[in-house]
Every structure is written in structure tokens, then in C-alpha cells.
Amino acid sequence: MTGRPFRWVLHVDLDQFLAAVEVLRRPELAGKPVIVGGRGDPTERAVVSTASYEARAFGVRSGMPLRIAVRKAPDAVVLPVDRDTYLDVSDHVMDTLRGLGVVVQVLGWDEAFLGVDADDPEQVAHRVQAAVLAATRLHCSVGVGDNKIRAKNATGFGKPAGVFRLTAENWLAVMGERPTIDLWGVGSRISQRLAVHGIATVAQLAAADLDVLVAEFGPRMGTWYSELGRGDGSAVVDDTPWVARGHGRETTYQRNLATPAEIEAALRELAAQVHADTEAEDRPVVRVVLKVRYAPFFTQTRSKKLPAPTRSLEEVTAAVLDLAATMEPGREVRLLGVHAEMTMPDGGDDAEHTPVRGHF
């Protein structure tokens, strides 16, 4: 990165973004449970992309199958994902943030880090909220931190439409007794692996023996999880235009794939799509990832680093099929995904030391 560290990092997160955009287009939906996902048809296999707070009150969550979501909230309005509209609104939000004279590092459709050197970061946070609301009629929550990790974790305490500060001074007081899965970058699998070592809370992770973490996760990630438990991290905010680390495609099949031939044909198609995406960027592939969701709903992910960077469709496909050889035989498949990581423009091959929300 070419950015610089700031005294304060603000994490801006648009509240219930997709659902909020849909409510703006359909004001009659205000106050009602709204679910956005797939093509808006709960009889099809698709998952929830976003649920309004009213739908969340019934237990609806992102990533949940639509059919289960509508069972939990039978009166909810289910709408299809409208990617182009969300991208347009997101661009408007990010332009609004840049207009405030702060450094903006975009994280996705609905979130960004801001670099701020002000004496009163909460005042800046409230100014951010007012500007976004005036420009887009959307509410956002803002986490204030002395680095990115603390700012990102602070945002959840501010939702909805609030501001919360997390720093080295109050990190353990606020986060210490919370489960490790509440940390940004710790999912269910990592939390389970930590639990094997008696590490269930953030405070326990902060106090964990580094040698134990390194033995479990390796020198790089073990050290990083140790830092994460203490809330330590970078305060560098970089407004360099985002460059895709990789491209992924996935498909949920309306009928389970039941034979090796069906699975291979589907993987070859996905590999070809992903290869075309990487070729459009004129960058070779260095790693492939295979995501498999077996029926009824169990997901596995495997990855493979290629012997050398390649732009060959045949080599990318062969690597994907090699990973497929590790799939559980005889199990029907409801979803397949293929992701290809590319060399970065600066020539680097290693992913940045920042947690991401999955490969796909």
C-alpha cells in the first residue's frame, strides 16, 4: 500500500444496504420485513443477501437459504438482487465521502475506511453520517478506532445509525468477554480451532501463548491471530484505486449434481468463466480455490497454489479438477464455486494481511 497511518480510522458501514436501497425505491415497504436474495423467488435455491432489521427480528440472516428465511418471516417481501442499482448507489456514497476531504479506502459496496487526523473523530463521524444521509437518504454506522481492526469491530456496537469508539484503552473492557467469532476475520472454523486450545473469548486469545497459535495456524497467521486478540493492527488508510485480487464464479444448481460427469462438466464451465475474467485483466493466475456445497447444506473449500503463474485455460482447469478429486465421493452437490487469484500489478503473489469475507 502507498497510504499513510492516521491518528484515527473511521469505518463507515451502510445500514442494511441492499434492503435500504429497495425501501427507497418502494417507500411502502418502510417498516416491513424485506429480504433481498437471488431472483426473489423463495422456491428456488438461493440465499439471503441482505435482510432488513424487521426481517432480522424474525431470525433472518445473510447467507441463509431463502426457503428457510421465508419460513421464519412468512410475511416478508422477497426481492431479487439488483446489482447495477446497488453499484450506482455505492459509487454515489463513496463520492460523497471523498467530498468531505478525508482519505477513503473502499472495502466493498457498503463500507469504507476513512483516514482522519482530527482532534474530535466523533464530530467527523457525525458529519459523515449527515453527508451520506443528505446525499443518498441512507443511514450509516461509524466505528471510530486507533487502527483498522478496532474501527471495524467498533461499527457493530454503533448499529443502527450510531457511532462507537474502540481503542487500545477500552478494547478488552468492551471485547474481552465476547467470543472469538465476534472478531473481524474469525469465522466459525477458526473459532472452533481456537476452542480446541481452550481459547473461547477475545481476552483468552489476547493472552494466548504465541507458540500455540503458530503451531496451529503457522507463523504468519498465528502471529496475526495473536495481534487480533489484542486489537492490534495497521492504521494505514490508502485511497489507491482498488485492484481485484482475483475473480470467482459460483452456481447454485436447482437440481443436485449427482454424478462425476455432471460435476466435471459444471467445473469446466466455471473454470472457463473465471479464466475469461482473469484474461480480461491481463494477469496470470497463481492460485485456484474450489468451493463445494453438498446436499443438504454442508460447505467445504479447498485451494491450490499453481507451480507457476499461468494464463492457460487448460492449466487452470486441471488445477480445479485436481481439487475436485478431494471431494467426498457419492455425495450430491448443490453448489460449486471456482475462484482464481492473480498476480498483482506490483508483481506480488501473496494476499494482503487483511481479513476478507470469503473468496466468492
Q: Which residues are catalytically annotated?
A: 111
Q: What secondary structure letter does DSSP report for 181? A: G
Reference 360, options 282, 283, 277; nearest CA is: 277
CA pair distance 94, 73, nearest whole angstrom = 33
Range list of β-strands (E), 161-257 = 163-166, 236-237, 246-257
Strands across the sheet containing 285-294: 246-257, 333-342, 285-294, 298-310
Written as nine digits, the cell of 58 is 424474525
CA pair distance 32, 26, nearest whole angstrom = 11
Strand duo 34-36 + 77-79: pairing: parallel
* Cα 39 to Cα 44, 74, 204, distances in angstroms: 8, 17, 43
Query: Long-range contacts of range 56-62, CB-CB < 8 Å, 24 or more positions apart?
Result: 57/33, 58/33, 60/33, 60/35
Q: Name the 3-class secondary structure at 162.
A: coil
CA pair distance 270, 276, nearest whole angstrom = 10
Query: Cell 455505492 maps to which residue?
Result: 90
* Residue 291, Cβ density class (10 Å: 0-12 exposed, 13-18 middle, ≥19 buried): buried
